[in-house]
Homo-oligomer: A and B are copies of this chain.
Amino acid sequence: MASLRAAARLRPSLTRMTPQSFLRAQRAFTASALKAAPSAAPSYITGEPAGPTIKTEIPGPESKKAIKDLDTVFDTRSLNMLADYTKSIGNYIADPDGNVLLDVYAQIASIPVGYNNPALLKAAQTPEMASALINRPALGNFPSHDWAEVLRTGILTVAPKGLDQVFTAMAGSDANETAYKAAFMWRRQQERGGAHVEFTEEDIASSMLNQAPGAPQLSILSFKSAFHGRLFGSLSTTRSKPIHKLDIPAFDWPQATFPLLKYPLEDHVAENQKAEAEALADVERLITTHHLPPCAVVVEPIQSEGGDNHASPAFFQGLRALTKKHNVLFIVDEVQTGVGATGKFWAHDHWNLDTPPDMVTFSKKAQTAGYYFGNPELRPNKPYRQFNTWMGDPARALLFRAIIKEIERLDLVTNTARVGDYLFSGIESLAKKYPGEIQNLRGKGQGTFIAFDSPRRDEFLKKAKGFGVNIGGSGEKAVRLRPMLIFQKHHADILLEALEKIVKS
């Protein structure tokens, strides 16, 4: 924190300004960040700027022109910022107007090791990658002779403890949906008496009519404010926001209460324990009484889109115990939390479970997707039951392998744990100083996976750009930080500085 305060003294005050002086101050701020940085540890990515550069408002004139043009062929109403990736580097995202922002949103938490990371660039330029790109196989039918090796030296090297198999997919939504499909097949197989028992004529005939028993009256249990994707099955388990769900038919699947913890945690111990116990009781009630029996519970280690809602390891241990007790599968959705961001490779590593989850889904920072599993009973009993044309993408699997190697080479999970602690302390100080502006700070000990609530969240995020920082939100009022794994102490200082300026402005 000393360096933060020292850095803060370098910056001009930004309170009560005209738009013109505001812009001047922003430029001065980013210029001083540039000057301040050389004393810091070197960036992991060579050539990364020492700080943000703000040249225009965002979007600036060039961006505005390009956005107007893009809108004729592509819906731009959710556009946040037009980017120029050829000029983006490391933790910094550039735009066509010459603005360069510290990016702690990172493509909705999906850039792992920095823009234009040289190691990834190298992997992208190998003959192996070119072949994977242009000779894309139907993996289930015609895998490449070296597919086992690609899996074994890449995706499987980071398989969660106890899970040694993977089913590859395209993105988070279908990773979850294929995991759900595996769960339904597993449950019906149990009901039939095992893998060797054939489908009945009734199963076969009714499945073709979308009717039970072939299309069973079973469910996946998820939690209130959960997000698991936006295709029809995954959206039925998503309960984040109405705008995600409105007008789309959904399965009548159950949603359990998620414990809404109060912060700071140390001041609400009993209350929070009670909330978690009640949530677990709700899960058990739904497992045992819902009219569409759940065959799996799916949960995010930290509810991300839903507003960065955390629960304790004890809660997740309880969930694992409940699912075991009732013979229900336990699916952990690590699409947003996985691949190092919480200071462990998988967020569920924080829980110290006795038995591993049954399936762990991944995507985003992996730049590919799928689900891990260990129990051989989760391989369906016949071929072509879990199948599609591409079943993932070997080019993206090669990229994930390069990402893993880069994470290991630079020890980036450790880095994220350490920098996360530093960043959390810094924001904690700010929260004490500005209790009306930074509320419910959460994510302590969870790497850089940190969030807080802002009473003026949307304005907060908009202002952040003016101070050279690209930040995202989640839920109704959370500011969510999702830096890359190459986010270092000197980046944290710039972010902390900007956060204070935003709050004060």
Residue numbers of A with Cβ under 8 A of B are: 62-63, 66, 69-70, 72-86, 88, 93, 95-96, 107-108, 110-111, 115-117, 120-121, 123-125, 129-131, 133-138, 140-145, 147-148, 151-152, 156, 164-167, 170-174, 177, 180-181, 184-185, 187-189, 199, 203-204, 207-211, 214-219, 229-234, 236, 239, 242-253, 255, 363-364, 367, 379, 382-390, 395, 399
Of the residues B96, B148, B249, contact of A73 by C-beta under 8 Å = B148
Interface contact B142-A250, CB-CB below 8 Å = no
Interface contact B214-A246, CB-CB below 8 Å = yes
With A208-B242, A248-B181, A389-B108: A116-B131 Cβ-Cβ less than 8 Å: yes
Query: Contacts A75-B379, A107-B136 given; 12 further ones with Cβ under 8 A?
Result: A72-B148, A73-B148, A73-B166, A74-B143, A74-B147, A83-B143, A84-B144, A85-B135, A93-B142, A96-B145, A107-B138, A116-B135
Q: How far is the CA of A389 from the CA of B389 in the complex (A)?
A: 22
Q: How far is the CA of A111 from the CA of B249 in the complex (A)?
A: 34
Residues on B with C-beta less than 8 A from A239 are 208
Residues on B with C-beta less than 8 A from A215 are 245, 247-250
User: Copies of this chain, how many?
Assistant: 2
Interface contact A108-B138, CB-CB below 8 Å = yes
Residues on B with C-beta less than 8 A from A83 are 137, 142-145
Interface contact A385-B85, CB-CB below 8 Å = no
Please give the distance in Å from A449's CB to the nearest CB on chain B: 16
Interface contact B121-A134, CB-CB below 8 Å = yes
Residues on B with C-beta less than 8 A from A164 are 73
Q: How far is the CA of A188 from the CA of B95 in the complex (A)?
A: 37
Residues on B with C-beta less than 8 A from A151 are 73-74
Please give the distance in Å from A177's CB to the nearest CB on chain B: 5
Interface contact B134-A184, CB-CB below 8 Å = no
Interface contact B253-A210, CB-CB below 8 Å = yes
Interface contact A384-B143, CB-CB below 8 Å = no
Interface contact B216-A249, CB-CB below 8 Å = yes
Of the residues B73, B138, B248, contact of A152 by C-beta under 8 Å = B73
Q: How far is the CA of A382 from the CA of B244 in the complex (A)?
A: 11
Residues on B with C-beta less than 8 A from A156 are 73
**What are 21 A-B contacts with C-beta separation under 8 Å?**
A66-B145, A69-B148, A70-B143, A73-B166, A76-B143, A79-B140, A85-B131, A107-B389, A110-B389, A124-B130, A133-B395, A170-B171, A173-B231, A204-B246, A207-B248, A214-B247, A230-B387, A231-B232, A233-B233, A246-B385, A247-B385
With A136-B110, A145-B96, A399-B134: A389-B80 Cβ-Cβ less than 8 Å: no
Q: How far is the CA of A143 from the CA of B83 in the complex (A)?
A: 6
With A108-B138, A141-B80, A247-B216: A204-B171 Cβ-Cβ less than 8 Å: no
Chain B residue nearest in CB terms to A140: B78
Q: How far is the CA of A245 from the CA of B185 in the complex (A)?
A: 10
Residues on B with C-beta less than 8 A from A148 are 66, 69-70, 72-74
Please give the distance in Å from A212's CB to the nearest CB on chain B: 9
Of the residues B123, B141, B184, B233, contact of A231 by C-beta under 8 Å = B233
Residues on B with C-beta less than 8 A from A236 are 210, 232
Please give the distance in Å from A486's CB to the nearest CB on chain B: 13
Residues on B with C-beta less than 8 A from A389 are 107-108, 110, 171-172, 363-364
Interface contact A246-B207, CB-CB below 8 Å = yes
Interface contact B210-A251, CB-CB below 8 Å = yes
Residues on B with C-beta less than 8 A from A229 are 388
Please give the distance in Å from A260's CB to the nearest CB on chain B: 16
Please give the distance in Å from A237's CB to the nearest CB on chain B: 9
Q: How far is the CA of A312 from the CA of B31 in the complex (A)?
A: 68
Of the residues B131, B214, B245, contact of A86 by C-beta under 8 Å = B131
Please give the distance in Å from A461's CB to the nearest CB on chain B: 12
Interface contact B115-A388, CB-CB below 8 Å = no
Q: How far is the CA of A463 from the CA of B84 in the complex (A)?
A: 53
Interface contact A117-B145, CB-CB below 8 Å = no
Residues on B with C-beta less than 8 A from A76 are 143
Interface contact A232-B177, CB-CB below 8 Å = yes
Interface contact B78-A141, CB-CB below 8 Å = yes
Chain B residue nearest in CB terms to A185: B247
Residues on B with C-beta less than 8 A from A385 are 243, 246-247
Of the residues B137, B177, B363, contact of A85 by C-beta under 8 Å = B137
Residues on B with C-beta less than 8 A from A143 are 70, 74, 76, 79, 82-83
Q: How far is the CA of A168 from the CA of B73 in the complex (A)?
A: 11
Residues on B with C-beta less than 8 A from A217 are 249
Q: How far is the CA of A93 from the CA of B62 in the complex (A)?
A: 47
Q: How far is the CA of A124 from the CA of B135 in the complex (A)?
A: 11
